[in-house]
Amino acid sequence: MAHGAGGKATRSLVEGLLAPAFGIKSLDDAATIGELALTTDAFVVKPLRFPGGSIGELAVNGTVNDLAMGGAKPLALTLSLILEEGLGSDVLRAEVDAIARAATQAGVRIVGGDTKVVERGHADGMYITTTGLGQRDQRAQFQPARPGDRILLSGPIAAHGTAIMLARGEFDLDSDEIVSDTRSLWPAVDAILGLGAVRRLRDATRGGVASVLNELARDDGVAMLIQESAVPVAPAVAGACELLGIDPMYVANEGVFLAIVEPGFVAPGFVDIGEVKTDPPGMVLVATSFGGKRVLDELVGDPLPRIC
Amino acid sequence: MRVRARVSGVVQGVGFRPFVFGLASELELTGFVFNDASGVVVEVEGPQVDAFLLRLRSEAPPLASVESVSSVVVPEEGARSFEIRASPRGGAPDAPISVDTATCDACLAELFDPLDRRYRYPFINCTDCGPRFTIVTGVPYDRPWTTMASFVMCAACQAEYDDPRDRRFHAQPNACPECGPRVTLTEDAGAEAGGAGAADDVLAAAARALRGGAILAVRGIGGFHLACRADDEAAVARLRARKHREERPFALMARDAAMAATLVALEPAPSPPETAPSSPATALTSRARPIVIAPRLPGAAVAPSVAPRTPELGVMLPYSPLHHLLLADVGVPLVMTSGNVSDEPIAFENDDALERLAGIADVFLLHDRPIHTRVDDSVLRGGRIVRRSRGYVPATLPVAPAPPLLAVGAELKSTFALARDGRAWVSHHIGDLGNYETLRSFTDGVAHFERLFAVTPELVACDLHPEYLSTKYALDLDLPTDGVQHHHAHLAACLAEHGVERAAGAIYDGTGYGTDGTVWGGELLRGDLTSFTRLGHLWPVRMPGGEAAIRAPWRMACAWLLEIGHDVPEEWSRVAQLVRSGLNSPLTSSMGRLFDAVAALCGLRDTVTYEGQAAIELEARADRHETAAYPLDTTCTQPVYRGRTPVYDLDARLVLDARPTVAAVVEDVERGVDVALVSARFHNAVANATAAALRDEPVIVLSGGVFQNELLLARTLELLPRALTPRQLPVNDGAIAYGQAAIAARRAQSRTR
Ligand SMILES: [Fe+3]
Ligand SMILES: [Mg+2]
Ligand SMILES: [Zn+2]
Ligand SMILES: [Zn+2]
């Protein structure tokens, strides 16, 4: 199977295999137990360090953000580290420092952990699994998106995935500006909750904004109409995407989320990129500068040219 | 003697029953005729029955296409007259629906006859001509199931419609100024279309506006056109800017063949008849009235912006009475380009046009006969079909008898096909499915065809490309699927059309998903309608940035330069890094991309504004008298590896190694050799290599979008005169749906045996 790309292949694995086996409808990013929220996430990223971040920071922020997207204030984390035999101690130390620093910045405590070393060739340097515990925020009363709702974005997109790609390709772009956006999203969530009815929150990680919009459209049986020109992309990131031939809408983020909010909602610092529509249900369309509408579908795997 | 005959084929709505009536009367036969769900049923009695059956086929009306006549002898009844009987209801509607057909000579004579009651009536038609497919809303083909349903015929029209001797007997779109559709002219896109005057005033005003340099949106048969004077550079340039269409040529409409002959060279192509299905002149005046692309004449009075950087022009003749009137009044050739912005589908509804074309057209010429199915103009080049649409659809093509099925085609230039009982209905050109409006006309079109031709698919065939929206559509249907490799479908479309079992083919196109997950496009395949083997392919290189490399041919030039170990210009260094890293840069054996690379290396094109532009301009520049060719080796005995990956398919025996070819191109360009010679030598190299690879094959097919290149096709056919090429369908992806249908039908048939 094509894994890792996010999108449809992963979704069918989750919907087809995991969810039925555990007798639940879907594997939500965060589950709630009374007033508490619980989430778990595994981190595999290559390279371990990249401009703007590293696997340790991702392991903290990714899990913290799953809690935030579930409308919960992150409280505490446990970690499980899987290390490949021969991993440099300096590398390990750097990641432990990164974890500690990210946890401090996100305001969460690391309350437990486990470490395993596996044979050489059995893990790509280091894997981290993080479990996070949060306190549900009463202001978060999520509901399905409705036609007329606005679609807000918390910041410019595509920085993380582009930084990773460039790091992998060893490009000597002057890429000081292209750094991962990994960060805790709780402060921004804390700010937006309570400004009005926030119907949905979703961080645009793997598969990018496009995949998340498709998930939302499909789950809620609505259409999403995005204004192409309204979607913020930093110029350096846009230039790199152009070079790489990739659409920023499909590029992973680690510090950007989408909020579906009631009409008339005003949220300083957020960008309004479009509207929830009735037709065509389950689809995401992009209004182009020519006035046409393009289909922004979910990718099954790696994008290959469709033009004959 | 008395016989009962069943006639099948396109025999309804084409004046077949009046023809039968006339023939029976002439031969003094008695009996009856009626339409049923499968065609026409005739019973005739009298001494001249044999002559009747012969002439039934040979003298059928122009729009009819008789597939079969089966007859049985029945007891004589001794009737005294011949009558046309009412159609019985029920059963599967098997009778094919006719194509939209250009105004016939008889109607044209009336149109310009001041004494005729339809003098200058823009909707004149008869059983021999007029709209059909575009106005059909359901079956059977009868007025209530067309968009003419809301127009109640006046007494005069009704009398014609009811009279079996009249040439408007059961002409479903029959109409006149009293009872039929009307034209209106509006300058204000915001206002409700109103102010209807006499058709004559409206058309005269529209023609006046055009003569004065205005851009007119005009509603025709399959949708809207945008029109302006072809000789007015200011008007044409304005149209280009407003339409956001940078360089893709505009089509022209000439008043008549004589006017067309002042624009383009219409002599029949010098090639043998087998290679040129119909001459440009014949195609131009055919009832389908396609756009004919032909060499531009030196003195053609056409503004530079009509078709920049190409030595050709696309010309068509009027095909509706409305067009005839406009062209007659304006008196000069008009630009007649699709009524859309940029790459959007054409507008076909009044409201939609008024909204979407508001920023483009100065004046709107509307009418109130609804168009049910949006259909683009068909396009021919060198007598070969490039876009099969209006005038050709919904004629059927053969497939193996199999359970009913749907084939969803490709992604760009998409079409779909429905098949049952050994016939396939291949849809009109749908276009780029990534455009939502186009995707909707795809799904609506499938539903419409399913009803119209009574096909309830039990199977769906699709491409292997997982990201094609057509593939996703197919997989979402609750039906068994049959995945067909893209170039196998190209090969199969040609096999099925020619009724040939198996062949080896050179399938050259831009990109298609290969069975190994890489991007194919320069393929030598051998196969039949069930399977294929890959005999060989073009030497693969990286496509830096995937689709970005299609929009920017210089990226392919960069990839090929690195492949031959040549240094690349400093400003290409980042893309060179992309090639070396392989990031988002799939391997491709695409022939189309090699043409792009050569065009860029020749300095012709760094980026393109429409699909295929680089290759088109490379072909245009070639010196047709040059016979020399660059080396292009066709065998490779030693496996070559890129890292641990074999460079080419080790199961394939032949590799078209274009590295020496590209090296020779670079060398000549660096020495300052004329691009015309470089281009010709490159074309000749590809033709030679193809011929060398396939020469010993008993049956040979040439297809794929690259063969839209007439020079390449002609050179290859000179070397492989027996080679088969698509005739009824384009070489491009417009044929994919039919190829998928042919393969899926044959596979289904062999499974059930
Ligand atoms: Fe193709
Ligand atoms: Mg998660
Ligand atoms: Zn006629
Ligand atoms: Zn009338």
List strand residue ranges (DSSP E) for B435-542, in order.
459-463, 481-484, 503-513, 519-527, 532-538, 541-542
In this prediction, residue B43 has a pLDDT band, given cuts at 50, 70 and 90, of very high
Probe site for chain A from B436, B471, B588 (most A CB atoms < 10 A): B436
User: Between chains, do A244 and B583 touch, taking CB under 8 Å as contact?
Assistant: yes
The residue whose two tokens read 């926030």 is: A198
Task: Return the amino acid letter for B628.
Answer: A
Using a CB–CB cutoff of 8 Å, tell me whether B705 touches chain A.
Answer: yes
Find the mean pLDDT for residues B14-26: 88
Does residue B384 have a pLDDT over 60? yes
User: Between chains, do B436 and A244 touch, taking CB under 8 Å as contact?
Assistant: no
Of B519, B583, B592, the CB nearest to A304: B519
Using a CB–CB cutoff of 8 Å, tell me whether B545 touches chain A.
Answer: yes
Of B436, B486, B584, the CB nearest to A295: B436
Separation of B595 CA from ligand 1 center, angstroms? 15
The rounded percent of chain B whose pLDDT value lies above 90 is 80
pLDDT at B696: 94
**Residues on chain B touching A173 (C-beta within 8 angstroms):** 574
Using a CB–CB cutoff of 8 Å, tell me whether A307 touches chain B.
Answer: yes
Distance CA B539, CA B659 (A): 8
Find the mean pLDDT for residues A111-124: 92
Find the mean pLDDT for residues A289-295: 88
In this prediction, residue B134 has a pLDDT band, given cuts at 50, 70 and 90, of very high
Determine the Cα angle at B168 with ends B162 and B173, to 5°.
100
For chain B, the structural domain boundaries read 2-84, 183-381, 394-500+735-752, 505-723
**Residues on chain A touching B581 (C-beta within 8 angstroms):** 168-171
B478-489, pLDDT tens digit by residue? 999 999 999 999
CATH of domain B183-381: 3.90.870.40
User: Between chains, do B547 and A244 touch, taking CB under 8 Å as contact?
Assistant: no
CATH of domain B505-723: 3.30.420.40
In this prediction, residue A202 has a pLDDT band, given cuts at 50, 70 and 90, of very high
Q: Which of residues 719-738 of B touch A (CB under 8 A)?
A: 732-733
Query: Is B35 a known active-site residue?
Result: yes
B2-84 CATH, one of 3.30.70.141, 3.80.30.20, 3.30.70.100, 3.40.50.10190: 3.30.70.100
B296-351, pLDDT tens digit by residue? 999 999 999 999 989 999 999 999 999 999 999 999 999 999 999 877 899 999 99
pLDDT at B197: 56
A6-25, pLDDT tens digit by residue? 556 666 777 777 777 777 76
The DSSP result for B408-452, as a single string, is ---SSSB--EEEETTEEEEPPP-B-TTBHHHHHHHHHHHHHHHHH
| Residues within 5 Å of ion ligand 3, judged at the Cβ atom | B 104, 107, 126, 128-129
Using a CB–CB cutoff of 8 Å, tell me whether A230 touches chain B.
Answer: no
User: Between chains, do B586 and A165 touch, taking CB under 8 Å as contact?
Assistant: no
Does residue B537 have a pLDDT over 60? yes
In this prediction, residue B272 has a pLDDT band, given cuts at 50, 70 and 90, of very low
pLDDT at B98: 86
User: Between chains, do A301 and B705 touch, taking CB under 8 Å as contact?
Assistant: no
Find the mean pLDDT for residues B521-537: 96
Does residue A234 have a pLDDT over 50? yes
The DSSP result for B149-218, as a single string, is TTPPPPHHHHHHHH-TTSTTTT-TT---TTTS--EEEES-TTSPS-----HHHHHHHHHHHHHTT--EEE
**Cis previous bond, A235, omega within 30:** no
pLDDT at B276: 44
Does residue B676 have a pLDDT over 80? yes
Cα within 13 Å of Cα(B409), Cβ side: 30
Distance CA A44, CA A58 (A): 10
Catalytic residue among B2, B4, B6, B35: B35
Phi, psi of B171 (to 5 degrees): -75, 105
The CATH class of B394-500+735-752 is alpha beta
In this prediction, residue B637 has a pLDDT band, given cuts at 50, 70 and 90, of low
User: Between chains, do B469 and A295 touch, taking CB under 8 Å as contact?
Assistant: yes
pLDDT at B165: 83
Does residue B361 have a pLDDT over 90? yes
For chain A, the structural domain boundaries read 17-136, 150-295
pLDDT at B151: 97
Catalytic residue among B2, B4, B6, B17: B17
List strand residue ranges (DSSP E) for B528-586, in order.
532-538, 541-542
Does residue B412 have a pLDDT over 50? yes
A150-295 CATH, one of 3.40.50.1860, 3.90.650.10, 3.30.230.30, 3.40.50.300: 3.90.650.10
Using a CB–CB cutoff of 8 Å, tell me whether A1 touches chain B.
Answer: no
In this prediction, residue B519 has a pLDDT band, given cuts at 50, 70 and 90, of very high
User: Between chains, do A303 and B550 touch, taking CB under 8 Å as contact?
Assistant: no
Q: Please provide the average confidence, as pLDDT, over all residues in chain A.
A: 91
Shortest distance between the Cα of B636 and any Cα of chain A, in A, equals 27
Using a CB–CB cutoff of 8 Å, tell me whether B183 touches chain A.
Answer: no
Shortest distance between the Cα of B548 and any Cα of chain A, in A, equals 5
Contact B514, B488 (CB under 8 A): no
Does residue B248 have a pLDDT over 60? yes
pLDDT at B646: 77
- Kindly list the distances between the CA atom of residue A135 and the CA atoms of A63, A142, A198, in Å, as whole numbers in the listed order: 14, 16, 18
In this prediction, residue B91 has a pLDDT band, given cuts at 50, 70 and 90, of very low
pLDDT at B221: 97
Using a CB–CB cutoff of 8 Å, tell me whether A290 touches chain B.
Answer: yes
* B262: Cβ contacts below 8 Å, ≥ 6 apart: B254, B297, B299, B300, B301
Of B437, B510, B545, the CB nearest to A243: B545
Closest listed ligand to the CA of B125: 3
A17-136 CATH, one of 3.30.1330.10, 3.40.50.720, 3.40.50.360, 3.30.565.10: 3.30.1330.10
Closest listed ligand to the CA of B118: 4
Find the mean pLDDT for residues A259-277: 96
Using a CB–CB cutoff of 8 Å, tell me whether B543 touches chain A.
Answer: yes
User: Between chains, do B439 and A295 touch, taking CB under 8 Å as contact?
Assistant: yes
> How many CB atoms neighbour CB B66 within 10 A?
18
Distance CA A250, CA A113 (A): 33
Contact B468, B474 (CB under 8 A): no
Highest mean pLDDT pick, A301-305, B46-50, B493-497, B634-638? B493-497
Q: Which residue has the higher pLDDT, B672 or B169?
A: B672
B592-606, pLDDT tens digit by residue? 999 999 999 999 988
pLDDT at B90: 52
Find the mean pLDDT for residues A270-283: 97
Distance CA B344, CA B330 (A): 28
Shortest distance between the Cα of A296 and any Cα of chain B, in A, equals 8
Closest listed ligand to the CA of B510: 1
> How many CB atoms neighbour CB B58 within 10 A?
7
Find the mean pLDDT for residues A207-216: 96
pLDDT at B278: 66
Closest listed ligand to the CA of A10: 2
In this prediction, residue A243 has a pLDDT band, given cuts at 50, 70 and 90, of very high
pLDDT at B189: 52
User: Between chains, do A291 and B356 touch, taking CB under 8 Å as contact?
Assistant: yes
* B696: Cβ contacts below 8 Å, ≥ 6 apart: none
Separation of B324 CA from ligand 3 center, angstroms? 13
Does residue A136 have a pLDDT over 60? yes
pLDDT at B547: 94
Does residue B655 have a pLDDT over 50? yes
User: Between chains, do A307 and B410 touch, taking CB under 8 Å as contact?
Assistant: no
pLDDT at B190: 46
User: Between chains, do A306 and B547 touch, taking CB under 8 Å as contact?
Assistant: yes
Of A171, A283, A304, the CB nearest to B586: A304
pLDDT at B191: 46
